[in-house]
Amino acid sequence: MTAAPTLPVGTWLRVFVRLFAVQGSYNYETMIGNGIAFAAEPAFRLLPGGRDGAAYHAAMARHSRYFNAHPYLAALAVGALVRAELDGEAVERVERFRTACCGPLGAAGDRLVWAGWLPFCSALALLAYGLGASAAGVLVTFVGTYNVAHVALRAWGLRAGYREGLKVAVALGSPVLRTGPLHVARALAVVAGAALPLVLLRVRAAHPMSIGVELGLAALLAMALARWQARTDGWRVGVVLLLLFFIYSVVR
Amino acid sequence: MPIEVYRIDDRLVHGQVVVGWGQPLALGFIVLVDDQVAESAWEQDLYRMGVPPEMAVHFESVAGALSRLPAYRLLPDPGLLLAGSTAAMRALVEGDPDIRHVNVGGLHHRAGRSPRLRFVFLDAAEEADLRAMRARGVEVSAQDVPGAVPVPLDDLLTRSGG
């Protein structure tokens, strides 16, 4: 493979910013396919003929089709697909790559982010609460910590995908993706173990009479969520929880 | 250990397989059955990167899987067999009488397929494949993750999405 053609800074920025909207037209038919084409579109303008060229239209049509991967690691796919199109790779090879990279990007992202980083950041926010942080402090701890890695992952993915092109398996072999989930899981265990007793102590200090009731309700809620989580949509659960919270805050 | 799940999923290795099924079943290996992937080194490299280091992936053609399934069943860890199409799974079912359950985990939208569930779109040939498996006494159901309620084949084929 030859060296990657240099993209203008403006194109990099447009593609990167659009990556944050990659799920904007999510649907069960094409999943994030439209988002992939939308994110890559500024770079496709560099294809021969520009926006009015046949290559641009063919690439947009090709990449708007079904695509499903972890939304953050989709950046890796966007970078690789842009590189493949600008390099003039054979269409059949690009389409096979597109099909083949969905699953691995989904699996690696699910392990690292949904099953690792997100619970870790939640536990870290609980620890901040247990140590006496204000509501704003807890929020900043969670949102800040989570998004540092989130944004870095998208930026790294775009850059690595463009650098490696269709050899993106090299980037997927990065220690962050291969062994990162294991280290995050260990850190999660330590932080959660430290956070839970501190949180209980703070709740008990603030509400000495109601701790049993509130812990019981929390346990019931956790059991209900565990039972229903795969049987319903997240937004429905959210609406029911908001309703219950509203009723509780009124009758309390 | 037996192969715990025989799954049809056109995404092959992905998060629902590795995290959703892999963690609760403590999977030690995946047998990925796809004639094209079995001959493509770069695609194998890609799929291999989708699983954790402690999980093995064995790439097989349909013919190769049929000859080596008995050996895979003797491995010490539980495993999952993954086929990318109903045709591949039907060939496995017809060649291996020990497959008694088939999990339809994901067949997604493409031209000619009709929606049955959010994660299952089928065309006429795929429906015929699933019926043929059931006719051999195999229990066929759709279920994306272990916590979801399995949808039996008869129910699946009467649905129109959602």
CB-nearest to B50 from A29, A103, A114 is A103
Q: Based on the number of CB atoms within 10 Å of its own CB, is B61 exposed (0-12), middle (13-18) or buried (19 or more)?
A: middle
For residue B68, name the pLDDT band (cuts at 50, 70, 90).
very high
B18: contact with A, CB 8 A cutoff: yes
Chain B residues lying within 8 Å of A178, measured CB to CB: 49, 52-53
The DSSP code for B17 is: I
Optimal mutation site among A67, A81, A172, A231, interface B, most CBs of chain B within 10 A: A172
pLDDT at residue B1 in the model:
66
Distance CA A225, CA A7 (A): 47
Chain B interface, best mutation among A62, A72, A99, A164, by max B CB count within 10 A: A99
Helices first, then strands: H and E counts in chain A: 12, 0
| A102/B45 touch (CB, cutoff 8 Å), yes or no | no
Give the pLDDT of residue A44: 97
Q: Report the alpha-carbon distance of residue A76 to residue A157 in Å, rounded.
A: 4
For domain B3-158, the CATH superfamily is Phosphotransferase system, sorbose subfamily IIB component (3.40.35.10)
Q: B127: which residues sit within 8 A by CB, 6+ positions away?
A: B157
- Verify whether the Cβ–Cβ distance B18 to A231 is below 8 Å: no
**What is the SS3 assignment for B140?**
strand
Residues of A with CB under 8 A from a CB of B: 28-31, 66, 68-70, 96-97, 100-111, 114-115, 166-169, 172-173, 177-179, 181-182, 229-231
Query: How close B148 gets to chain A, by Cα (Å)?
Result: 5
Structure confidence by residue, pLDDT tens digits, B6-53: 999 998 998 889 989 998 999 999 999 999 999 999 889 989 988 988
Round to whole Å and give the CA distance between B11 and B103.
Answer: 14
DSSP symbols for A72-116 = TTHHHHHHHHHHHHHHT--HHHHHHHHHHHHHHHHHHHIIIIIII
Alpha helices in A45-73 (DSSP H): 54-63
Show residues of chain B in contact with A66, CB under 8 Å: 108-110
The residue assigned the tokens 């056109």 is B10
Between chains, do A169 and B42 touch, taking CB under 8 Å as contact? yes
Look at B49 and A178 and tell me if their CB atoms are within 8 Å: yes
Say what percent of chain B tops pLDDT 70: 98
Of A70, A178, A230, which is closest to B15 when you measure between CB atoms? Answer: A70
pLDDT (0 to 100) of residue A234: 67
Whole-prediction pTM value?
A: 0.79
Handedness of CA B96, B98, B100, B106 (dihedral sign): negative
What is the pLDDT, as a whole number, of residue B85?
A: 96
- Every domain of chain B and the residues it spans: 3-158
pLDDT in tens, B147-156: 888 999 999 9
Cβ–Cβ < 8 Å for B114, B162: no
From CA B161, how far away is CA B30, in angstroms rounded? 29
Residue B13: CA atoms inside 13 Å, Cβ hemisphere, count?
Answer: 32
Question: What would the mean pLDDT of B135-158 be, rounded to a whole number?
Answer: 94
- Contact state of A107 with B51 under an 8 Å Cβ cutoff: yes
Chain A nearest CA to B47, separation (Å): 5
Q: How far is CA A242 from CA A79, A95, A217, A248, B157, in A?
A: 39, 44, 15, 10, 36
Residues of B in contact with A114 (CB under 8 A): 15, 19
Nearest alpha-carbon partner for B120 in B11, B3, B22, B4: B11
| Contacts of residue B96, Cβ cutoff 8 Å, sequence gap at least 6 | B66, B69
Question: pLDDT of A105-155, one tens digit each?
Answer: 988 898 899 989 999 999 999 999 999 999 999 999 999 999 999 999 999
Active site residue B14: yes
pLDDT the model gives residue A120: 96
Contacts with B21 from chain A: Cβ below 8 Å: none
CB B54 within 8 A of CB B69: no
Gap between the Cα atoms of B120 and B127, Å rounded: 11
In DSSP notation, B69-137 reads HHHHTTSSS-EEEEESSHHHHHHHHHH-TT--EEEEEEB---TT-EEEETTEEE-HHHHHHHHHHHHTT
* B102 vs A237, residue with greater confidence: B102
Lowest mean pLDDT among A6-15, A39-48, A194-203, A239-248: A239-248
Q: Which B residues, 135 through 154, put their C-beta within 8 Å of a C-beta on chain A?
A: 145-149
Nearest CA in chain A to B18: A107
Mutate to test the interface with B, among A68, A178, A227 (most CBs of B within 10 A): A68
Question: Is pLDDT of A210 > 60?
Answer: yes
In this structure, what DSSP letter does residue A65 have? S
Whether A1 shows a pLDDT value over 60: the answer reads no
In chain A, % of residues over pLDDT 70: 94
Question: Is residue B91 within 8 angstroms of chain A, CB to CB?
Answer: no
Q: Which residues, including other chains, have CB under 8 Å from residue B86's CB and lie 6 or more apart?
A: B8, B107, B122, B125, B126, B129, B130
Q: Which residue of chain A is at minimal alpha-carbon distance from B47? A: A104
Tell me which of B14, B58, B101, B108 is the catalytic residue: B14
Question: Looking up tokens 């779109």, which residue turns up?
Answer: B121
| Confidence (pLDDT) at A230 | 60
The secondary structure of chain B in percent helix, strand, coil, rounded to multiples of 5, reads: 40, 25, 35
- pLDDT higher than threshold 90 for residue A160: yes
User: Residue A18 — φ and ψ, nearest 5°?
Assistant: -65, -25
